[in-house]
């Protein structure tokens, strides 16, 4: 069986990353990196979505307020990206861990080919034990096609990389029953079920962002919905604490956990179903059809008799029986070229045939939707 590592997407907001004098809050980044190293040692893959590039650029360019024009915003982001990533790398250097800057635009998520490219790039970095530091590509994105904030980008990234957990770090304890800056009597909501029909988050949705960011509780709730739809457990928690990520790893109650009435698997399969047209298909023998339909099994190479289409790892493909009828569809773990090499082989033969480390499952059962 596949020994898949758990994967976390951690989003750090501008209010945490930005510093007053240097443009970067080095103490926060030091603490965040220390906790990420803790998670890595626990066999967890981590992707950081970090705000702060515009804030750093504002400091470098002596701008007091967030730019209101697109071109000035792009300039600030371009200047700030270098300082932001260097700040992270300095901390990771203490642990001999490499970080990589990854800039993602809206097109990288909405365009299928670029989506698969972005997914594979991030997964390759993780395979190389590199920590991706992701930010929206503000320096080239136009306002009309941007995510608009890193909360939304991070939520979309959860589905892109099939993350198990999504943690949004902020400068609040979590999500409150009202606006804590206006009412001292509000209470921390330790748990929110976004599928609860009686849920009223109107006061949270009216909140505003700070001077250097674009997000607020509204965008965090929206990003939570995206992440939950992709099947990830989701939190909004206080990034000012020294042990927030460690507490979540150790199953301690902290911040606000956001839930869905659907199971993690149901959410994941709903998300898969929304991915659009398949990129190709594989034909299965009768044994594989029975195993998938009646036993809830994953698809193995031994059950594949032929491949149709030219597709990359992570593509959505159709599984057909010997008569050409669709029995399922799902996300493939190998590209079409590799599947042609290993079709009909057992798991041991598959690993011997491929020069790279590979999952034994061609499509994991969690990534399969029966037709």
Bridge partners of 328? Answer: 319, 370
DSSP 240-285: TSSSHHHHHHTT---SEEEE-SS-HHHHHHHHHHTS-S-SEEEEE-
Within 10 A of 251 (CB to CB), how many other CB atoms are there? 7
Query: Which sign, positive or negative, has the C-alpha torsion 187, 219, 169, 70?
Result: negative
The pLDDT tens digits of the residues spanning 233-245 come to 999 999 999 999 9
Q: Name the phi and psi angles at 280, rounded to 5.
A: 175, -165
The pLDDT tens digits of the residues spanning 258-296 come to 988 766 666 566 666 666 688 899 999 999 999 998 888
The pLDDT tens digits of the residues spanning 14-52 come to 889 887 666 789 999 999 999 999 999 999 999 999 988
For the cut 80, the answer to whether the pLDDT of residue 358 exceeds it is: no
What separation, in Å, do the N-terminal and C-terminal C-alpha atoms of the chain show?
Answer: 25
- Is the pTM higher than 0.85? The answer reads no
- Delineate the domains of the chain, giving CATH numbers in brackets: 6-270 (3.40.1160.10), 277-370 (2.30.130.10)
For the cut 70, the answer to whether the pLDDT of residue 105 exceeds it is: yes
Query: Which sign, positive or negative, has the C-alpha torsion 123, 129, 134, 137?
Result: negative
């Amino acid at each position: 069986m596949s020994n898949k590592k758990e994967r976390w997407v951690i989003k750090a907001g501008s209010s945490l990353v930005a510093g007053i004098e240097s443009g970067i809050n080095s103490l926060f980044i030091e603490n965040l990196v220390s906790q990420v190293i803790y998670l890595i040692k626990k066999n967890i893959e981590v992707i950081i979505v970090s705000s702060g590039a515009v804030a750093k650029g504002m400091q470098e360019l002596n701008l007091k307020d967030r730019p209101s024009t697109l071109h000035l915003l792009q300039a600030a982001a371009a200047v700030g990206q270098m300082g932001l990533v260097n700040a992270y790398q300095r901390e990771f250097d203490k642990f001999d861990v490499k970080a990589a800057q990854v800039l993602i635009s809206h097109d990288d998520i909405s365009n299928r080919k670029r989506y698969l490219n972005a997914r594979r790039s991030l997964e390759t970095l993780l395979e190389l034990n590199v920590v991706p530091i992701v930010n929206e590509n503000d320096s080239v994105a136009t306002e009309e096609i941007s995510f608009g904030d890193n909360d939304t980008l991070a939520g979309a990234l959860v589905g892109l990389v099939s993350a198990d957990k999504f943690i949004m770090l902020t400068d609040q304890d979590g999500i409150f029953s009202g606006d804590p800056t206006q009412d001292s009597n509000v209470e921390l909501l330790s748990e929110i079920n976004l599928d609860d029909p009686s849920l009223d988050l109107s006061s949270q949705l009216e909140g505003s962002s700070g001077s250097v960011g674009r997000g607020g509780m509204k965008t965090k709730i929206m990003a939570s919905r995206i992440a939950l739809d992709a099947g990830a457990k989701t939190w909004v928690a206080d990034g000012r604490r020294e042990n927030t990520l460690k507490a979540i790893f150790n199953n301690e109650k902290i911040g606000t956990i956001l839930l869905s009435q659907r199971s993690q698997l149901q959410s994941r399969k709903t998300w898969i179903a929304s991915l659009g047209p398949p990129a190709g298909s594989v034909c299965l023998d009768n044994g594989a059809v029975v195993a998938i339909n009646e036993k809830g099994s994953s698809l193995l190479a031994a059950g594949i008799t032929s491949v149709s289409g030219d597709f990359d790892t992570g593509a959505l493909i159709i599984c057909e029986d010997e008569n050409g009828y669709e029995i399922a569809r799902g996300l493939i773990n190998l590209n079409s070229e590799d599947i042609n090499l290993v079709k009909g082989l057992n798991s041991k033969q598959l690993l011997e045939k491929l020069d790279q480390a590979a999952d034994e499952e061609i499509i994991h059962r969690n990534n399969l939707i029966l037709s």
